Chains A and B, each alone.
Chain A
Amino acid sequence: MIRVALPFHLRNLAKVGSEVQLEITGEVTLQSILDTIEVRYPMLAGTMRDHITKQRRPFLRFFACGEDFSHSSPDTRLPDKVISGEEPFLVIGAVAGG
Protein backbone atom coordinates (compact mmCIF):
# COMPACT_ATOMS: atom_id res chain seq x y z
CA MET A 1 0.00 0.00 0.00
CA ILE A 2 1.41 3.39 -1.02
CA ARG A 3 1.14 6.18 1.53
CA VAL A 4 0.68 9.74 0.26
CA ALA A 5 0.78 12.83 2.48
CA LEU A 6 -1.29 15.70 1.11
CA PRO A 7 -1.10 19.40 2.02
CA PHE A 8 -3.78 20.93 4.24
CA HIS A 9 -5.96 22.44 1.53
CA LEU A 10 -6.03 19.30 -0.60
CA ARG A 11 -6.90 17.20 2.44
CA ASN A 12 -9.86 19.51 3.00
CA LEU A 13 -11.01 19.24 -0.62
CA ALA A 14 -10.79 15.45 -0.55
CA LYS A 15 -12.14 15.26 3.01
CA VAL A 16 -9.33 12.94 4.11
CA GLY A 17 -6.81 12.85 6.91
CA SER A 18 -3.12 13.67 6.73
CA GLU A 19 -2.32 10.59 4.65
CA VAL A 20 -4.16 8.55 2.06
CA GLN A 21 -3.35 5.02 1.05
CA LEU A 22 -3.32 3.88 -2.55
CA GLU A 23 -3.25 0.49 -4.20
CA ILE A 24 -1.17 0.67 -7.36
CA THR A 25 -0.73 -2.23 -9.72
CA GLY A 26 2.33 -2.17 -11.92
CA GLU A 27 5.26 0.20 -11.77
CA VAL A 28 5.08 2.82 -9.01
CA THR A 29 6.13 6.05 -10.67
CA LEU A 30 5.47 9.73 -10.18
CA GLN A 31 2.83 9.55 -12.89
CA SER A 32 1.15 6.40 -11.63
CA ILE A 33 0.84 7.87 -8.14
CA LEU A 34 -0.68 11.12 -9.44
CA ASP A 35 -2.96 9.26 -11.85
CA THR A 36 -4.18 7.04 -9.03
CA ILE A 37 -4.78 9.97 -6.68
CA GLU A 38 -6.85 11.74 -9.35
CA VAL A 39 -8.94 8.65 -10.06
CA ARG A 40 -9.43 7.87 -6.38
CA TYR A 41 -10.05 11.48 -5.44
CA PRO A 42 -11.31 13.16 -8.61
CA MET A 43 -11.96 16.44 -6.80
CA LEU A 44 -8.16 16.79 -6.74
CA ALA A 45 -7.77 16.53 -10.52
CA GLY A 46 -6.17 19.75 -11.71
CA THR A 47 -4.96 20.81 -8.27
CA MET A 48 -1.49 19.20 -8.34
CA ARG A 49 -0.87 19.37 -12.07
CA ASP A 50 -2.50 21.20 -14.91
CA HIS A 51 -5.59 19.51 -16.35
CA ILE A 52 -4.41 19.82 -19.92
CA THR A 53 -0.61 19.85 -19.94
CA LYS A 54 -0.12 17.61 -16.88
CA GLN A 55 2.64 19.97 -15.77
CA ARG A 56 3.22 20.18 -12.02
CA ARG A 57 1.77 23.34 -10.53
CA PRO A 58 4.68 25.71 -9.92
CA PHE A 59 4.23 26.02 -6.15
CA LEU A 60 3.87 22.30 -5.46
CA ARG A 61 6.74 19.94 -4.74
CA PHE A 62 7.02 16.15 -4.65
CA PHE A 63 9.36 14.54 -2.12
CA ALA A 64 10.10 10.98 -1.03
CA CYS A 65 12.81 9.52 1.23
CA GLY A 66 14.55 12.88 1.53
CA GLU A 67 14.75 13.27 -2.24
CA ASP A 68 13.13 15.96 -4.39
CA PHE A 69 11.22 14.44 -7.30
CA SER A 70 9.63 17.71 -8.40
CA HIS A 71 11.69 17.97 -11.54
CA SER A 72 11.87 14.25 -12.28
CA SER A 73 10.43 12.65 -15.35
CA PRO A 74 6.84 11.36 -14.87
CA ASP A 75 8.02 7.78 -15.43
CA THR A 76 10.65 7.94 -12.70
CA ARG A 77 10.38 4.89 -10.46
CA LEU A 78 9.92 5.84 -6.82
CA PRO A 79 12.09 4.43 -3.99
CA ASP A 80 11.45 0.94 -2.61
CA LYS A 81 10.55 2.37 0.80
CA VAL A 82 7.67 4.30 -0.81
CA ILE A 83 6.54 1.21 -2.71
CA SER A 84 6.58 -0.88 0.46
CA GLY A 85 4.72 1.79 2.43
CA GLU A 86 7.58 2.30 4.85
CA GLU A 87 7.94 5.94 3.78
CA PRO A 88 5.21 8.29 2.48
CA PHE A 89 5.23 10.13 -0.81
CA LEU A 90 4.96 13.81 0.10
CA VAL A 91 2.99 16.46 -1.84
CA ILE A 92 4.06 19.78 -0.38
CA GLY A 93 2.85 23.30 -0.96
CA ALA A 94 6.09 25.18 -1.47
CA VAL A 95 6.87 28.22 0.64
CA ALA A 96 6.03 31.22 -1.49
CA GLY A 97 5.76 34.81 -0.48
CA GLY A 98 8.52 36.26 1.59
Chain B
Amino acid sequence: MTSIRVLVGTKKGAFVLRSNANRAKWEVDGPFFAGWEVYHMKGSPEDPDRIYASQSSGWFGQIVQRSDDGGKTWFQPGFNPDSHRDSEPTTNPEGMPLTESNKFAYDIIGKPLTTHQWYDGTQHPWEFKRVWHMEPSITNADIVYAGVEDAAIFKSTDGGISWQELSGLRGHRTGSLWMPGAGGMAVHTIIEDQNNPQRIFIAISAAGVFRTDDGGKTWKPINKGLSSQYIPDPNAEVGHCVHRIAMHPSRPEVLFMQKHWDVMRSDDAGESWHEISGNLPSDFGFVVDIHAHEPNTVYVIPIKSDSEHFPPEGKLRVYRSRKGGNEWEALTKGLPQKDCYVNILRDAMCVDTLDPCGIYFGTTGGQVYASSDGGDSWNAIVQNLPSVCSVEVQAIP
Protein backbone atom coordinates (compact mmCIF):
# COMPACT_ATOMS: atom_id res chain seq x y z
CA MET B 1 0.00 0.00 0.00
CA THR B 2 1.24 3.45 -0.84
CA SER B 3 2.67 5.44 2.04
CA ILE B 4 3.13 9.17 2.29
CA ARG B 5 6.15 10.95 3.71
CA VAL B 6 6.16 14.68 4.35
CA LEU B 7 9.55 16.33 4.84
CA VAL B 8 9.39 19.48 6.95
CA GLY B 9 12.32 21.87 7.35
CA THR B 10 12.05 24.37 10.20
CA LYS B 11 14.01 27.11 11.90
CA LYS B 12 15.07 24.65 14.59
CA GLY B 13 15.41 21.28 12.92
CA ALA B 14 13.81 18.81 10.51
CA PHE B 15 10.80 16.56 10.88
CA VAL B 16 9.49 13.60 8.90
CA LEU B 17 5.73 12.98 8.96
CA ARG B 18 4.42 9.59 7.87
CA SER B 19 0.98 8.33 6.91
CA ASN B 20 -0.72 5.86 4.61
CA ALA B 21 -2.70 6.64 1.46
CA ASN B 22 -5.70 7.69 3.53
CA ARG B 23 -3.63 10.59 4.88
CA ALA B 24 -5.77 10.68 8.03
CA LYS B 25 -3.36 9.71 10.83
CA TRP B 26 0.19 10.95 10.99
CA GLU B 27 3.32 10.00 12.90
CA VAL B 28 5.95 12.64 13.57
CA ASP B 29 9.67 11.79 13.64
CA GLY B 30 12.20 14.36 14.74
CA PRO B 31 13.56 16.80 15.40
CA PHE B 32 16.58 15.92 13.32
CA PHE B 33 19.50 18.40 13.49
CA ALA B 34 17.83 20.05 16.48
CA GLY B 35 18.70 23.68 16.90
CA TRP B 36 19.84 24.14 13.28
CA GLU B 37 17.93 25.88 10.51
CA VAL B 38 16.77 23.45 7.84
CA TYR B 39 15.86 25.58 4.87
CA HIS B 40 14.94 22.65 2.67
CA MET B 41 14.94 18.88 2.35
CA LYS B 42 13.85 16.88 -0.67
CA GLY B 43 13.81 13.26 -1.79
CA SER B 44 15.14 11.88 -5.04
CA PRO B 45 12.43 11.03 -7.60
CA GLU B 46 14.65 8.20 -8.79
CA ASP B 47 15.28 6.74 -5.31
CA PRO B 48 12.73 8.07 -2.80
CA ASP B 49 14.70 6.80 0.19
CA ARG B 50 17.55 9.13 -0.80
CA ILE B 51 16.82 12.49 0.81
CA TYR B 52 19.02 15.58 0.84
CA ALA B 53 18.77 18.25 3.54
CA SER B 54 20.28 21.69 3.94
CA GLN B 55 21.29 22.29 7.57
CA SER B 56 22.73 25.68 8.46
CA SER B 57 23.57 27.91 11.37
CA GLY B 58 24.72 31.45 11.90
CA TRP B 59 27.40 30.05 14.18
CA PHE B 60 28.72 27.05 12.27
CA GLY B 61 27.85 27.64 8.61
CA GLN B 62 26.50 25.15 6.10
CA ILE B 63 26.14 21.38 6.50
CA VAL B 64 24.71 19.01 3.90
CA GLN B 65 22.90 15.97 5.27
CA ARG B 66 21.77 12.88 3.42
CA SER B 67 19.56 9.97 4.29
CA ASP B 68 19.56 6.70 2.35
CA ASP B 69 16.77 5.11 4.36
CA GLY B 70 13.87 7.48 3.92
CA GLY B 71 14.78 9.90 6.69
CA LYS B 72 15.34 7.45 9.54
CA THR B 73 19.10 8.06 9.77
CA TRP B 74 21.27 10.85 8.40
CA PHE B 75 24.92 11.51 7.65
CA GLN B 76 27.12 14.07 5.97
CA PRO B 77 27.73 12.71 2.45
CA GLY B 78 31.04 10.98 2.16
CA PHE B 79 31.56 10.59 5.88
CA ASN B 80 31.08 7.25 7.39
CA PRO B 81 28.91 7.94 10.45
CA ASP B 82 31.62 6.33 12.58
CA SER B 83 34.56 7.87 10.77
CA HIS B 84 36.13 9.20 13.95
CA ARG B 85 37.26 5.71 14.75
CA ASP B 86 40.96 5.17 14.29
CA SER B 87 40.41 2.17 12.02
CA GLU B 88 38.64 4.27 9.40
CA PRO B 89 40.77 6.81 7.60
CA THR B 90 39.27 10.25 7.16
CA THR B 91 41.98 11.75 4.99
CA ASN B 92 43.74 10.95 1.78
CA PRO B 93 47.49 10.17 1.66
CA GLU B 94 48.21 13.90 1.41
CA GLY B 95 46.42 14.46 4.70
CA MET B 96 43.43 16.26 3.19
CA PRO B 97 39.85 15.46 4.19
CA LEU B 98 38.28 12.80 2.03
CA THR B 99 35.17 14.81 1.33
CA GLU B 100 34.06 18.40 1.24
CA SER B 101 30.31 18.02 1.35
CA ASN B 102 29.78 21.41 2.99
CA LYS B 103 32.21 23.32 0.75
CA PHE B 104 30.51 25.64 -1.74
CA ALA B 105 33.34 27.48 -3.44
CA TYR B 106 32.39 30.00 -6.09
CA ASP B 107 34.14 29.39 -9.38
CA ILE B 108 36.82 32.05 -9.71
CA ILE B 109 38.42 30.52 -12.80
CA GLY B 110 35.64 29.81 -15.29
CA LYS B 111 33.65 32.95 -14.55
CA PRO B 112 35.69 35.21 -12.31
CA LEU B 113 32.82 37.47 -11.35
CA THR B 114 33.45 38.59 -7.80
CA THR B 115 30.97 41.36 -7.05
CA HIS B 116 27.27 42.14 -7.34
CA GLN B 117 25.24 45.23 -6.62
CA TRP B 118 24.72 46.15 -2.97
CA TYR B 119 21.82 48.08 -1.46
CA ASP B 120 23.62 51.39 -1.82
CA GLY B 121 24.42 50.79 -5.48
CA THR B 122 28.07 49.95 -4.91
CA GLN B 123 29.57 46.61 -5.82
CA HIS B 124 29.81 43.99 -3.05
CA PRO B 125 31.83 40.76 -2.91
CA TRP B 126 29.98 37.53 -3.61
CA GLU B 127 29.84 35.61 -0.31
CA PHE B 128 28.42 32.14 0.28
CA LYS B 129 25.91 32.12 3.13
CA ARG B 130 23.70 29.03 2.93
CA VAL B 131 21.86 26.54 0.74
CA TRP B 132 18.24 27.56 0.30
CA HIS B 133 17.04 24.76 -1.93
CA MET B 134 18.04 21.18 -2.76
CA GLU B 135 16.80 19.74 -6.05
CA PRO B 136 17.64 16.07 -6.63
CA SER B 137 17.82 15.15 -10.31
CA ILE B 138 14.78 13.50 -11.85
CA THR B 139 16.86 10.68 -13.32
CA ASN B 140 19.87 10.06 -11.08
CA ALA B 141 19.86 9.96 -7.27
CA ASP B 142 23.54 10.92 -7.10
CA ILE B 143 22.96 14.13 -9.03
CA VAL B 144 21.59 17.00 -6.98
CA TYR B 145 21.46 20.75 -7.48
CA ALA B 146 21.77 23.32 -4.70
CA GLY B 147 20.43 26.86 -4.93
CA VAL B 148 22.47 29.07 -2.63
CA GLU B 149 22.75 32.54 -1.15
CA ASP B 150 24.52 34.66 -2.48
CA ALA B 151 22.76 33.62 -5.65
CA ALA B 152 24.39 30.72 -7.48
CA ILE B 153 23.63 27.16 -8.47
CA PHE B 154 25.88 24.25 -7.55
CA LYS B 155 25.76 20.67 -8.80
CA SER B 156 26.91 17.47 -7.19
CA THR B 157 27.30 14.29 -9.22
CA ASP B 158 28.47 12.13 -6.32
CA GLY B 159 25.55 12.21 -3.95
CA GLY B 160 26.48 15.46 -2.26
CA ILE B 161 30.09 14.56 -1.44
CA SER B 162 31.45 17.46 -3.48
CA TRP B 163 29.94 20.47 -5.24
CA GLN B 164 30.82 22.43 -8.35
CA GLU B 165 29.30 25.74 -9.32
CA LEU B 166 27.46 26.08 -12.65
CA SER B 167 29.09 29.45 -12.96
CA GLY B 168 27.49 30.42 -16.24
CA LEU B 169 24.52 31.61 -14.21
CA ARG B 170 26.35 33.95 -11.87
CA GLY B 171 28.64 34.88 -14.73
CA HIS B 172 25.79 36.07 -16.92
CA ARG B 173 26.51 39.61 -18.11
CA THR B 174 23.78 40.91 -15.79
CA GLY B 175 25.33 39.31 -12.69
CA SER B 176 26.92 42.49 -11.44
CA LEU B 177 23.46 44.13 -11.51
CA TRP B 178 21.77 41.58 -9.25
CA MET B 179 20.85 42.94 -5.86
CA PRO B 180 19.58 41.26 -2.69
CA GLY B 181 16.03 41.82 -1.49
CA ALA B 182 15.21 42.13 2.20
CA GLY B 183 15.51 38.36 2.57
CA GLY B 184 18.86 38.09 0.85
CA MET B 185 19.87 37.16 -2.68
CA ALA B 186 19.42 33.48 -3.32
CA VAL B 187 18.58 30.86 -5.91
CA HIS B 188 15.44 29.47 -4.29
CA THR B 189 13.72 27.56 -7.09
CA ILE B 190 15.21 24.93 -9.40
CA ILE B 191 13.01 23.07 -11.89
CA GLU B 192 14.25 20.43 -14.31
CA ASP B 193 12.29 19.85 -17.50
CA GLN B 194 11.86 16.08 -17.59
CA ASN B 195 11.14 16.21 -21.32
CA ASN B 196 14.38 18.02 -22.04
CA PRO B 197 17.31 17.10 -19.80
CA GLN B 198 19.29 20.12 -21.01
CA ARG B 199 16.67 22.59 -19.81
CA ILE B 200 16.54 23.91 -16.23
CA PHE B 201 14.64 26.89 -14.83
CA ILE B 202 15.83 28.75 -11.74
CA ALA B 203 14.54 31.79 -9.87
CA ILE B 204 16.43 34.35 -7.82
CA SER B 205 15.24 36.95 -5.36
CA ALA B 206 15.70 39.66 -6.43
CA ALA B 207 17.01 39.10 -9.94
CA GLY B 208 14.30 37.08 -11.67
CA VAL B 209 13.93 33.85 -13.62
CA PHE B 210 16.67 32.30 -15.74
CA ARG B 211 16.68 29.31 -18.08
CA THR B 212 19.43 27.12 -19.42
CA ASP B 213 19.00 25.01 -22.54
CA ASP B 214 22.45 23.47 -22.45
CA GLY B 215 22.54 21.71 -19.09
CA GLY B 216 23.69 24.72 -17.10
CA LYS B 217 26.57 26.07 -19.18
CA THR B 218 24.78 29.23 -20.26
CA TRP B 219 21.69 30.96 -18.93
CA LYS B 220 19.31 33.61 -20.17
CA PRO B 221 17.04 35.86 -18.12
CA ILE B 222 13.37 35.23 -18.98
CA ASN B 223 11.53 38.09 -17.33
CA LYS B 224 9.72 39.78 -20.21
CA GLY B 225 6.29 40.94 -19.09
CA LEU B 226 7.16 41.20 -15.41
CA SER B 227 6.43 44.58 -13.91
CA SER B 228 7.86 45.70 -10.58
CA GLN B 229 6.87 48.99 -8.98
CA TYR B 230 10.35 49.72 -7.73
CA ILE B 231 11.99 49.31 -11.14
CA PRO B 232 11.50 52.37 -13.33
CA ASP B 233 12.46 50.57 -16.54
CA PRO B 234 9.32 48.68 -17.71
CA ASN B 235 11.50 46.37 -19.76
CA ALA B 236 14.11 45.62 -17.09
CA GLU B 237 15.90 42.41 -17.96
CA VAL B 238 16.66 41.59 -14.30
CA GLY B 239 15.87 42.93 -10.85
CA HIS B 240 12.48 41.29 -10.36
CA CYS B 241 11.66 39.77 -6.98
CA VAL B 242 10.32 36.40 -8.08
CA HIS B 243 9.18 34.39 -5.07
CA ARG B 244 8.41 31.05 -6.67
CA ILE B 245 7.73 29.36 -9.99
CA ALA B 246 5.95 26.06 -10.68
CA MET B 247 5.68 23.76 -13.68
CA HIS B 248 3.52 20.69 -14.32
CA PRO B 249 5.66 17.91 -15.80
CA SER B 250 3.11 17.19 -18.54
CA ARG B 251 3.17 20.77 -19.78
CA PRO B 252 6.72 22.07 -19.47
CA GLU B 253 6.14 25.18 -21.55
CA VAL B 254 3.60 26.52 -19.03
CA LEU B 255 4.99 28.17 -15.90
CA PHE B 256 3.17 29.80 -13.02
CA MET B 257 4.82 32.42 -10.83
CA GLN B 258 4.16 34.09 -7.51
CA LYS B 259 6.07 37.34 -7.70
CA HIS B 260 6.58 39.83 -4.87
CA TRP B 261 3.40 41.33 -6.21
CA ASP B 262 1.44 39.70 -9.06
CA VAL B 263 0.66 36.11 -9.89
CA MET B 264 1.96 35.48 -13.40
CA ARG B 265 1.80 32.84 -16.12
CA SER B 266 3.96 31.99 -19.11
CA ASP B 267 2.84 29.76 -21.97
CA ASP B 268 6.16 29.79 -23.80
CA ALA B 269 8.69 28.46 -21.31
CA GLY B 270 9.26 31.86 -19.77
CA GLU B 271 9.82 33.84 -22.96
CA SER B 272 6.93 36.09 -21.94
CA TRP B 273 4.68 36.48 -18.91
CA HIS B 274 1.19 37.80 -18.30
CA GLU B 275 -0.67 38.53 -15.09
CA ILE B 276 -3.35 36.14 -13.79
CA SER B 277 -3.97 37.65 -10.33
CA GLY B 278 -7.66 38.19 -11.18
CA ASN B 279 -9.90 38.30 -8.12
CA LEU B 280 -7.31 37.38 -5.48
CA PRO B 281 -7.65 39.45 -2.26
CA SER B 282 -3.90 40.14 -2.44
CA ASP B 283 -1.59 39.38 -5.31
CA PHE B 284 1.36 39.19 -2.92
CA GLY B 285 2.48 35.82 -1.60
CA PHE B 286 5.29 33.33 -1.64
CA VAL B 287 4.02 29.90 -2.73
CA VAL B 288 2.49 28.63 -5.95
CA ASP B 289 1.88 25.01 -6.91
CA ILE B 290 -0.07 22.91 -9.41
CA HIS B 291 -2.47 19.98 -8.98
CA ALA B 292 -0.72 16.70 -9.77
CA HIS B 293 -3.35 15.53 -12.28
CA GLU B 294 -4.91 18.78 -13.47
CA PRO B 295 -2.22 20.99 -15.01
CA ASN B 296 -4.58 23.96 -15.19
CA THR B 297 -5.46 23.85 -11.47
CA VAL B 298 -3.21 26.21 -9.54
CA TYR B 299 -2.90 27.03 -5.83
CA VAL B 300 -1.61 30.20 -4.12
CA ILE B 301 -1.90 31.60 -0.61
CA PRO B 302 -2.42 35.38 -0.68
CA ILE B 303 -0.49 37.34 1.92
CA LYS B 304 -0.87 40.96 2.95
CA SER B 305 2.07 43.17 2.18
CA ASP B 306 4.27 45.21 1.86
CA SER B 307 5.43 44.67 5.41
CA GLU B 308 2.71 42.70 7.23
CA HIS B 309 3.29 39.30 5.64
CA PHE B 310 0.26 37.59 7.12
CA PRO B 311 -3.09 36.54 5.58
CA PRO B 312 -5.53 39.36 4.70
CA GLU B 313 -8.16 39.89 7.42
CA GLY B 314 -6.50 37.26 9.61
CA LYS B 315 -8.14 34.53 7.48
CA LEU B 316 -5.91 31.72 6.24
CA ARG B 317 -7.17 30.94 2.76
CA VAL B 318 -5.74 28.87 -0.03
CA TYR B 319 -6.92 30.09 -3.41
CA ARG B 320 -7.49 27.66 -6.25
CA SER B 321 -7.94 28.41 -9.91
CA ARG B 322 -9.19 25.60 -12.10
CA LYS B 323 -8.75 27.72 -15.20
CA GLY B 324 -5.06 28.41 -15.05
CA GLY B 325 -5.49 31.76 -13.34
CA ASN B 326 -7.61 34.91 -13.25
CA GLU B 327 -10.63 33.21 -11.64
CA TRP B 328 -9.87 32.10 -8.09
CA GLU B 329 -11.96 30.45 -5.35
CA ALA B 330 -11.16 30.63 -1.65
CA LEU B 331 -10.60 27.29 0.09
CA THR B 332 -11.31 27.71 3.79
CA LYS B 333 -12.79 24.51 5.20
CA GLY B 334 -10.60 23.45 8.12
CA LEU B 335 -8.37 26.54 7.99
CA PRO B 336 -8.52 29.27 10.68
CA GLN B 337 -10.81 32.08 9.56
CA LYS B 338 -10.03 34.57 12.29
CA ASP B 339 -7.00 35.79 14.22
CA CYS B 340 -4.52 34.00 11.98
CA TYR B 341 -1.30 35.93 11.41
CA VAL B 342 1.20 33.40 10.10
CA ASN B 343 3.17 33.41 6.88
CA ILE B 344 3.82 30.63 4.38
CA LEU B 345 7.32 30.73 2.98
CA ARG B 346 8.21 30.02 -0.64
CA ASP B 347 9.32 26.39 -0.28
CA ALA B 348 6.51 25.49 2.12
CA MET B 349 3.84 24.19 -0.26
CA CYS B 350 3.76 20.94 -2.22
CA VAL B 351 1.42 18.38 -3.79
CA ASP B 352 1.46 14.59 -3.73
CA THR B 353 0.74 12.31 -6.69
CA LEU B 354 -2.17 10.33 -5.22
CA ASP B 355 -5.69 10.54 -6.56
CA PRO B 356 -7.34 12.59 -5.20
CA CYS B 357 -4.37 14.89 -5.08
CA GLY B 358 -2.99 15.90 -1.68
CA ILE B 359 -1.93 19.48 -1.01
CA TYR B 360 0.34 20.46 1.89
CA PHE B 361 1.68 23.69 3.32
CA GLY B 362 3.54 24.79 6.45
CA THR B 363 3.35 28.05 8.35
CA THR B 364 5.68 30.24 10.33
CA GLY B 365 3.45 29.37 13.30
CA GLY B 366 4.56 25.75 13.15
CA GLN B 367 1.45 24.15 11.65
CA VAL B 368 1.47 21.86 8.63
CA TYR B 369 -1.91 21.72 6.93
CA ALA B 370 -2.91 18.99 4.50
CA SER B 371 -5.79 18.41 2.15
CA SER B 372 -6.48 14.93 0.78
CA ASP B 373 -9.20 16.14 -1.59
CA GLY B 374 -7.49 18.63 -3.84
CA GLY B 375 -7.95 21.54 -1.44
CA ASP B 376 -11.68 21.24 -0.64
CA SER B 377 -10.97 20.60 3.04
CA TRP B 378 -7.94 20.87 5.31
CA ASN B 379 -6.53 19.46 8.53
CA ALA B 380 -3.54 20.44 10.61
CA ILE B 381 -1.48 17.26 10.56
CA VAL B 382 0.98 18.73 13.07
CA GLN B 383 0.44 21.91 15.06
CA ASN B 384 3.35 23.11 17.14
CA LEU B 385 6.57 22.76 15.24
CA PRO B 386 9.16 25.53 15.03
CA SER B 387 8.59 28.05 12.26
CA VAL B 388 8.30 26.07 9.01
CA CYS B 389 10.73 26.88 6.18
CA SER B 390 9.86 24.12 3.73
CA VAL B 391 7.48 21.24 3.05
CA GLU B 392 7.99 18.45 0.51
CA VAL B 393 5.99 15.27 0.07
CA GLN B 394 6.75 11.82 -1.29
CA ALA B 395 4.30 9.10 -2.28
CA ILE B 396 6.08 5.79 -1.73
CA PRO B 397 4.61 2.88 -3.73
A39 touches B63 (CB 8 A): no
The residue that A39 contacts in the complex, of B95, B100, B102, B104, with Cβ under 8 A, is B95
- In the complex, whether A74 has a CB less than 8 A from a CB of chain B is no
Q: Could you say which of B36, B59, B99 has the most chain A C-beta atoms within 10 Å of its C-beta?
A: B59
Question: What chain A residues lie within 8 Å of B62 (beta carbons)?
Answer: 46
B35 touches A39 (CB 8 A): no
For the complex, count residues of A whose C-beta is within 8 A of B: 27
- In the complex, whether B79 has a CB less than 8 A from a CB of chain A is yes
- In the complex, whether A43 has a CB less than 8 A from a CB of chain B is yes
- In the complex, whether A22 has a CB less than 8 A from a CB of chain B is no
- In the complex, whether A40 has a CB less than 8 A from a CB of chain B is yes
Question: What chain B residues lie within 8 Å of A47 (beta carbons)?
Answer: 60-61, 63, 102
Interface of chain B: mostly helix, strand, loop or mixed: loop
**Within the assembled complex, what's the spacing in Å between the Cα atoms of A15 and B76?**
12
**Within the assembled complex, what's the spacing in Å between the Cα atoms of A77 and B354?**
63
- In the complex, whether B98 has a CB less than 8 A from a CB of chain A is yes
B34: min CB distance to chain A, Å: 9
User: Which residues of A1-41 have CB atoms within 8 Å of chain B's CB atoms?
Assistant: 7-10, 13-16, 38-41
Question: What chain B residues lie within 8 Å of A96 (beta carbons)?
Answer: 58-59
A14 touches B84 (CB 8 A): yes
B65: min CB distance to chain A, Å: 10
B interface residue numbers (CB < 8 A to A): 35-36, 57-63, 76, 79, 81-84, 90-91, 95-100, 102-105
The 10 lowest CB-CB distance pairs between A and B, nearest first, are: A42-B97, A47-B60, A59-B59, A51-B103, A93-B59, A46-B102, A42-B90, A43-B79, A43-B76, A39-B91
